[in-house]
């Protein structure tokens, strides 16, 4: 296998001019922190939550002239625990100035780095926690695994003037230092922890449930232990190597953060909250560069749990807004996470003191064969024409506590785009008395169950179909409504409904009509006299189980509709709002559409939510095989025919037996 990789710690740095949309380099991150710390705003208790590029304003050309300098500005969010206040700043890292400073009262920040690593030790030292563990027969506290779960929302006590930033850690027990801790959840024990003071506030103990009796290890060192569940005697012996080779190298080219692949061009970005961002996505059609999306990224995600048990009911984690996908990105490994001719981009984030932290290989880019693109056999002449599909893959994998989320952007050589989320990792588990069955979950092993839960991911797609003036249509397939035209009861038509203003912008999928949504440019007409367009088609749609009256219903209103359409506003970035931690306020998309802005022939943004409905299985234990969800973007009249017609034929090749 050829696995030649290129690692770029800070693409485009050095003497070269940075493009206005390039992520901040490590030196720029540290400069921004240093400028603030040395200004009138700096205090000894000020901590840096996120430092990222303050993206320049979008212009009519939807791109930037590299010859025209644009200031390099950082957008910085900070938290001062002493003042219990979030601050936002815009810093010109070249001029050394703080250009804007704003206090954000009544909100709480996402996690700081020390929150993730410091909570466990403090809880382990608490005598009340130790007493609760002794009741469960645990005396070796060093083997406890304590996850600092975001607070969720218990009620008004979680959010009032001068309240503490809190989390609610959950405890699991290992039987050995490297064992699978989630196999032994400590049921009914909840800690309330003050992240400002870094101390335990309260311990709730809802009664002792025995620790589950069996191990659930999946690492190689435990695989053949007969006490493990499930246990195996050996690895499969019939898995033959698959070699991915590109003798002439990959087909893509990379210049800093700009990527060109076949007819696609785009710029890649990265920041602590969203992780991967994509910018200036375009396609070259017969020599003309045609814009498709100005910016695309994950906007928010939430994981509501459907279990009323004391340890589980408040689990409603916004893994992006409360933790950060960029912070959670894995350093990816050749041959395991990615296969083939790989190009890596490092991700650079910050710690709470403003130091730059590099995540090596945070973004993986490679090509994949994807089967047949198109084929036809003329049975009369026996002439065969077939072309193979190929896609460019841009991905990252994030670990947030027990779960892994893979975010994959696929660009195909037929000009379509696919977004796929891969879910793996480990279930968050509950313990149950021997002989009982869980009401709000399913058993996965003796004494262990997985609660019913869902995952929802909202993607923000700033569309620019052949330019900035776009209109969105909802397209339904319906039986021919005129009986006189449908004498055989077989005819059907498509019906386009314009999404005219933001009051109509919250849309739901309809299985019975095969609904999809189309983004058209009324100013660009194809040879058939129709506006050029792309369509968004669902891949998997799941029912939303979040119910009105629950705290999560208001905190995550974006899950209530499959698609939201808004008029572009640079301040509207996140589907659940900027700061949802420890707050029950309605934020985000319901606020964005409240002004009922007109949406026809304007700069539109699509916010699409995909879901995963997880009723767990024993086969999900002890580590989950990947589940998949996502959506497609496909051209509709954007081209005059099949854009993959010019793919060259593949030369015949022998297989192993021939």
Per DSSP, the residues of 565-617 read: EEE--TT---TT-S--TT--S--SHHHHTTT--B-TTB-EEEEEEEEEEE---
The secondary structure of 472-517, three-state, reads EEEEEEEECCCHHHCCCCCCEEEEEEECCEHHHCEECCCHHHCCEE
User: What pLDDT, on a 0 to 100 scale, did the predictor assign at position 16?
Assistant: 54
Residue range 590-596: mean pLDDT, rounded: 97
- State how far the Cα of 434 lies from the Cα of 340, in Å rounded to an integer: 48
User: What pLDDT, on a 0 to 100 scale, did the predictor assign at position 588?
Assistant: 97
Which H or E run includes 129?
helix 127-135
When pLDDT is cut at 50, 70 and 90, the band that residue 125 belongs to is very high
User: What pLDDT, on a 0 to 100 scale, did the predictor assign at position 113?
Assistant: 82
C-alpha closest to that of 430 among 422, 414, 417, 442: 442
Lowest mean pLDDT, pick from 113-127, 131-145, 430-444:
113-127
**pTM assigned to the model:** 0.95
Give the torsion through C-alpha atoms of 480, 482, 483, 484, to 10 deg. -120
Lowest mean pLDDT, pick from 88-92, 245-249, 373-377, 557-561:
245-249
Of 182, 305, 403, 410, the catalytic one is 403
- Residue 160, pLDDT > 90, answer no
Residue range 498-508: mean pLDDT, rounded: 97
User: What pLDDT, on a 0 to 100 scale, did the predictor assign at position 336?
Assistant: 79
User: What pLDDT, on a 0 to 100 scale, did the predictor assign at position 505?
Assistant: 96
Residue, of 648 and 158, whose pLDDT is higher: 648
When pLDDT is cut at 50, 70 and 90, the band that residue 217 belongs to is confident
User: What pLDDT, on a 0 to 100 scale, did the predictor assign at position 9?
Assistant: 39
**Mapping DSSP to helix (H, G, I), strand (E, B) and coil, where does residue 452 land?**
coil
pLDDT tens track for 566-578: 999 999 999 999 9
- Whole-number percent of the chain with pLDDT over 70: 96
User: Residue 177 corresponds to which tokens in the numbers above?
Assistant: 């230092």
User: Residue 618 corresponds to which tokens in the numbers above?
Assistant: 């024993």
User: What pLDDT, on a 0 to 100 scale, did the predictor assign at position 158?
Assistant: 65
The label of the residue with tokens 């969105």 reads 472
Residue, of 226 and 474, whose pLDDT is higher: 474
When pLDDT is cut at 50, 70 and 90, the band that residue 14 belongs to is very low
C-alpha closest to that of 465 among 548, 526, 402, 537: 526
Residue range 628-643: mean pLDDT, rounded: 98
- State how far the Cα of 477 lies from the Cα of 492, in Å rounded to an integer: 7
User: What pLDDT, on a 0 to 100 scale, did the predictor assign at position 67?
Assistant: 87
- Whole-number percent of the chain with pLDDT over 90: 83
Lowest mean pLDDT, pick from 87-96, 97-106, 242-251:
242-251
Lowest mean pLDDT, pick from 28-32, 211-215, 428-432:
211-215
User: What pLDDT, on a 0 to 100 scale, did the predictor assign at position 654?
Assistant: 54
User: What pLDDT, on a 0 to 100 scale, did the predictor assign at position 436?
Assistant: 94
User: What pLDDT, on a 0 to 100 scale, did the predictor assign at position 645?
Assistant: 96
When pLDDT is cut at 50, 70 and 90, the band that residue 1 belongs to is very low
- Residue 10, pLDDT > 70, answer no
- State how far the Cα of 561 lies from the Cα of 137, in Å rounded to an integer: 47
C-alpha closest to that of 97 among 156, 24, 51, 40: 40
Question: How does the average pLDDT of the chain come out, rounded?
Answer: 93
User: What pLDDT, on a 0 to 100 scale, did the predictor assign at position 227?
Assistant: 74
Of 319, 466, 603, 620, the catalytic one is 319
- Per-residue CA distances from 649 to 373, 388, 461, 516, 644 (Å): 11, 8, 34, 33, 11
Instruction: Walk me through the domains of the chain, giving residue ranges and CATH numbers.
Output: 26-104 (3.10.450.40), 109-240 (3.10.450.40), 252-330+366-469+499-636 (2.70.98.20)
- State how far the Cα of 450 lies from the Cα of 620, in Å rounded to an integer: 9
- State how far the Cα of 52 lies from the Cα of 614, in Å rounded to an integer: 34
> How big is the chain by its Cα radius of gyration, in Å?
26
When pLDDT is cut at 50, 70 and 90, the band that residue 658 belongs to is low
Active-site annotation holds for 403: yes
pLDDT tens track for 277-296: 999 999 999 999 999 999 99
- Residue 105, pLDDT > 60, answer yes
- State how far the Cα of 552 lies from the Cα of 345, in Å rounded to an integer: 35
User: Residue 137 corresponds to which tokens in the numbers above?
Assistant: 């027969």
When pLDDT is cut at 50, 70 and 90, the band that residue 183 belongs to is very high
User: Residue 354 corresponds to which tokens in the numbers above?
Assistant: 């403003």
User: What pLDDT, on a 0 to 100 scale, did the predictor assign at position 155?
Assistant: 72
pLDDT tens track for 309-348: 999 998 899 999 999 999 999 999 877 788 889 999 999 9
Alpha carbon distance, N-terminus to C-terminus of the chain = 21
User: What pLDDT, on a 0 to 100 scale, did the predictor assign at position 154?
Assistant: 75
């Amino acid at each position: 296998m050829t696995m030649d990789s290129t690692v770029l710690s800070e693409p485009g740095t050095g003497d070269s001019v940075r493009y206005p949309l390039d992520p901040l380099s490590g030196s720029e991150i540290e400069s921004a922190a240093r400028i603030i710390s040395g200004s009138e705003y700096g205090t000894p208790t000020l901590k840096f939550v996120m430092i990222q590029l303050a993206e320049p304003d979008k212009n009519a050309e939807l791109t930037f002239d590299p010859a025209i300098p644009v200031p390099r500005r950082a957008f910085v969010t900070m938290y001062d625990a002493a003042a219990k206040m979030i601050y936002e700043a815009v810093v010109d890292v070249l001029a050394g100035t703080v250009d804007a400073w704003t206090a954000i009262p009544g909100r709480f920040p996402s996690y700081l780095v020390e929150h993730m690593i410091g909570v466990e030790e403090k809880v382990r030292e608490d005598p009340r926690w130790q007493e609760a563990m002794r009741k469960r027969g645990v005396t070796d506290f060093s083997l406890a695994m304590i996850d600092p779960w975001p607070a969720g929302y218990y009620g008004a006590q979680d959010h009032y003037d001068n309240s503490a930033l809190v989390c609610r850690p959950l405890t699991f027990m290992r039987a050995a230092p490297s064992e699978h801790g989630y196999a032994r959840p400590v049921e009914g024990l909840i800690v309330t922890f003050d992240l400002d003071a870094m101390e335990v506030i309260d311990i709730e103990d809802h009664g002792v449930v025995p620790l589950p009796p069996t191990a659930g290890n999946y690492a190689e060192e435990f695989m053949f232990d007969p006490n493990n569940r499930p246990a195996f005697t050996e690895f499969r012996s019939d898995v033959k190597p698959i070699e991915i080779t590109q003798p002439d190298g990959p087909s893509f080219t990379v210049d800093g953060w700009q990527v060109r692949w076949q007819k696609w061009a785009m710029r890649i970005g990265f920041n602590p909250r969203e992780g991967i961002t994509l910018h200036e996505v375009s396609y070259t059609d017969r020599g003309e560069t045609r814009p498709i999306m100005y910016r695309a990224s994950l906007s928010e995600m939430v994981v509501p749990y459907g279990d009323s048990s004391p340890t589980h009911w408040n689990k409603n984690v916004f893994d992006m807004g409360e933790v950060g996908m960029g912070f959670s990105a894995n350093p990816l490994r050749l041959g395991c996470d990615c296969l083939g001719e790989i190009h890596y981009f490092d991700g650079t984030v910050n710690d709470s003191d403003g130091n730059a932290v590099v995540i090596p290989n945070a973004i993986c880019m490679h090509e994949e064969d994807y089967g047949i693109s198109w084929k036809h056999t003329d049975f009369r002449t026996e002439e065969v024409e077939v072309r193979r599909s190929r896609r460019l893959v841009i991905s990252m994998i994030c670990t947030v506590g027990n779960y892994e989320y893979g975010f994959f952007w696929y660009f195909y050589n037929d000009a379509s785009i696919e977004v796929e989320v891969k879910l793996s990792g480990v279930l968050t588990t509950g313990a149950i008395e021997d002989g009982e069955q869980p009401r709000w979950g399913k058993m996965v092993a003796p004494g262990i169950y997985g609660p019913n839960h869902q995952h929802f991911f909202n993607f923000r797609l700033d569309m620019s179909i052949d330019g900035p003036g776009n209109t969105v249509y909802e397209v339904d397939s319906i039986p021919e409504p005129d009986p006189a035209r449908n004498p055989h009861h077989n005819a059907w038509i498509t019906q386009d409904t314009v999404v005219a203003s933001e009051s109509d912008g919250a849309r739901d999928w309809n299985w019975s009509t095969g609904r999809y949504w189309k983004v058209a440019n009324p100013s660009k007409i194809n040879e058939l006299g129709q506006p050029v367009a792309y369509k968004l088609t669902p891949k998997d749609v799941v029912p939303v189980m979040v119910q009105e009256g629950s705290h999560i219903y208001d905190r995550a209103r974006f899950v209530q509709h499959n698609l939201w359409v808004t008029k572009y506003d640079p301040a509207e970035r996140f589907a659940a709002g900027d700061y949802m931690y420890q707050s029950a306020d309605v934020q985000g998309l319901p606020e964005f559409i409240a002004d009922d802005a007109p949406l026809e022939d304007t700069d539109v943004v699509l916010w699409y939510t995909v879901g995963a409905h997880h009723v767990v299985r024993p086969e999900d234990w002890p580590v989950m095989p990947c589940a998949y969800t996502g959506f497609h973007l496909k051209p509709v009249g954007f081209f005059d025919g099949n854009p993959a017609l010019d793919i060259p034929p593949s030369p015949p090749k022998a297989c192993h037996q021939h």
